[in-house]
Structure 1
Amino acid sequence: MIVYGHRGAKGEAPENTLPGFRHAYRHGIRHFELDLVLSKDGIPVLVHDLSVDRTTYLKGDISQFTARELAAMDARRNTSSWPTAAGIPSLEDLLDQFDDLEHLQLEVKKDKRPRLNILSNRLTEIIQRRDLYEKVAITSSDTWFLNEIRRRNRNIRIGLVSDRKFPKPLNVATRLNCEYLCINWRLCSKELVSMAHRRGMHVSTWTVNRIHDMLQLEGMGVDSIITDYPTSTRIFFDNRSRTLLNLPGQEASTTAPEPKAEERFRLSPSSR
């Protein structure tokens, strides 16, 4: 099961910032989920909200600021503590930092359609120019946007983001010809995962911050989890693998038994 760092490493460092990604990268994380919004000058930048209000010490919509102005802000407000300032970077700032990332889920938030239209053009161009077809999936809860990406380039992988039972996420993803189904982990079931796999989809669940829940999802057959705590999650699964390898007469397994009560620990909750 693949572990994706949520917004870099949201629970361990400022979300959607280069220091957060570098922190997780140093601990071996090579899969990330992040959020994209279009800046005033038409550049995809890493930020969850449509405004800077929550994560910076300024006020205003992302659409009011250029990428350079956003990069100069301090995005440590209401996020994980960090000793130095961290701005809002562009997608290409992130891509320039690392040359061996294995996969990125690029989630695009709902926005005004003219802005989403420009963003779809920008993302398509970046993926084509950098040949990221195998390393990127563009995800969104906005079905119109996903259709626009598919219309521009059928080789770009797309994924539906859903936290609702109705309309049924798998049916919507099927109609869109998605390669990824990205659902709230509470909606997940073994039957849903099995059906998605039969339709050729990768099932990714968010935001999973308890080891107990991760193990249950693993047992259901999910392909990946998105967590605020990727480095501590990786440590747990690495330690489990080493323990299983050292047990006499046993081989490593991808599915772990039900954890004991003392092995269950809760990390702080979060929304996608």
Structure 2
Amino acid sequence: MKQWVSALSAGAIAIMVLFAPGGIAFASEGIATKDQNQVLNIAHRGASGYAPENTMAAFEKSVEMKADMFELDVQMSKDGELVVIHDTTVDRTTDGTGSVKDLTLEELKSLDAGSWFDESFTSETIPTLGEVLDEYRGRTGILIELKSPSLYPGIEQKVADELKARHLDNPENEKIIVQSFNHESVQTFHDLLPQVPVGVLLGYSPEGISDEQLDRFKAYADYVNPSKSMIDALLVERIHDYNMKTHPWTVRDRESANFLLEAGADGIITDYPDYVAPHPSK
């Protein structure tokens, strides 16, 4: 697992090249870039600046924009199906109301998940995790966030089963990362599929991230992914000292993308994949 964190095969679908200090340049258009090495460009909930978040349209747009990966959020329907949606209710991003966990897959699938963003996306529905994996495996990397897993007992096993059923649990063949703000859930998933890289998400804390936390994380995690407001070059260096990498979130302006590149972040989670220059091979 750690080998994938440091190197990727030529056939990898999520293309990661290690950051080398220095050598940073900015394109004349203001797009964040580097002279030779490239951070991982991760489309947040798909290219959610250009299409409704967590829909197939947003994921397709991220591929078109040559992002290395897209991030998505996984929850569970009333009847135990894994669905891709960020909020624990459907109110904000669909024409329905209610909690995700109280609606069946059929009920969730009947909702319009696109017109809130723009009328041109009225055909978009809430996808299942299986649908996304089937459509995009081999085309791009996928960063799976376990969203509010305490509401969904057993969700870690269900996600693991979906990956194993598609042979996506072998990091030599496919590039998948699983992460969560719930670090106990991350550890549970790691125990189930130790070969799949995992990350811990952290919200902003004025106390920062202690060495004690990093020492705990390194026992199971490959990534420490804090709010971008916590990142500076020193924190990136400390995370690297513990043999982990960092993908800060969420970039919505070019200045933040450039700052994170200067700080040495290994990946950038962004609503706008075009704010980070695509890898030369894309």
AA of the residue aligned to 2:226:
I
Out of 127, 138, 141, the residue aligned to residue 89 of structure 1 is 127
Which residue of structure 1 aligns with residue 158 of structure 2? Answer: 122
SS of alignment partner, residue 203 of structure 1: coil
2:213 corresponds to 1:172? yes
- Partners of 2:66 and 2:278 within 8 A in 1: no
1 or 2 for the larger relative contact order (CA 8 Å, sep ≥6)? 2
Which residue of structure 1 aligns with residue 95 of structure 2? Answer: 57
Counterparts of 2:75 and 2:225, CA distance in 1 = 19
SS of alignment partner, residue 205 of structure 1: coil
SS of alignment partner, residue 120 of structure 2: coil
Superposed CA offset, 1:53-112 (max 9, x none): 111111111112222332221012543563432110011111111232342211112243
AA of the residue aligned to 2:223:
Y
Counterparts of 1:189 and 1:172, CA distance in 2 = 17
Which residue of structure 2 aligns with residue 37 of structure 1? Answer: 75
- Please list every run of 5 or more consecutive structure 2 residues that lacks an aligned counterpart in the other structure: 1-38
Report the CA distance between 1:22 and its aligned residue: 1.3
Out of 83, 86, 99, the residue aligned to residue 137 of structure 2 is 99
- Please list every run of 5 or more consecutive structure 1 residues that lacks an aligned counterpart in the other structure: 242-272
2:189 corresponds to 1:153? no
Which residue of structure 2 aligns with residue 212 of structure 1? Answer: 255
Identity %: 27
CA distance 1:88–1:153, change in 2 (3 Å): same
Report the CA distance between 1:173 and its aligned residue: 4.9
| Correspondences of 1:1-272 after superposition (within 5 Å) | 1-76=39-114, 78-79=116-117, 82-112=120-150, 115=152, 117-133=153-169, 134=171, 135-165=175-205, 166=207, 168=209, 171-176=212-217, 177-230=220-273, 232-234=274-276, 237=277
The alignment yields a C-alpha RMSD, in angstroms, of: 2.2
CA distance 1:64–1:80, change in 2 (3 Å): same
SS of alignment partner, residue 157 of structure 2: helix
TM-score when scaled to structure 2?
0.76
- What is the count of residue pairs matched by the alignment? 235
- Partners of 1:13 and 1:81 within 8 A in 2: no
Counterparts of 2:127 and 2:114, CA distance in 1 = 13
| Greater share of residues in helix | 1
Report the CA distance between 1:40 and its aligned residue: 1.4
- Partners of 1:170 and 1:181 within 8 A in 2: no
TM-score when scaled to structure 1?
0.79
- Partners of 1:42 and 1:118 within 8 A in 2: no
- Partners of 1:205 and 1:226 within 8 A in 2: yes
CA distance 1:118–1:84, change in 2 (3 Å): same
CA distance 1:109–1:65, change in 2 (3 Å): same
Report the CA distance between 1:33 and its aligned residue: 1.0
- Partners of 1:41 and 1:67 within 8 A in 2: yes
SS of alignment partner, residue 13 of structure 1: coil
Counterparts of 1:24 and 1:64, CA distance in 2 = 30
Superposed CA offset, 1:127-179 (max 9, x none): 22223242111111112211211232322321111113347266435414210
SS of alignment partner, residue 83 of structure 2: strand
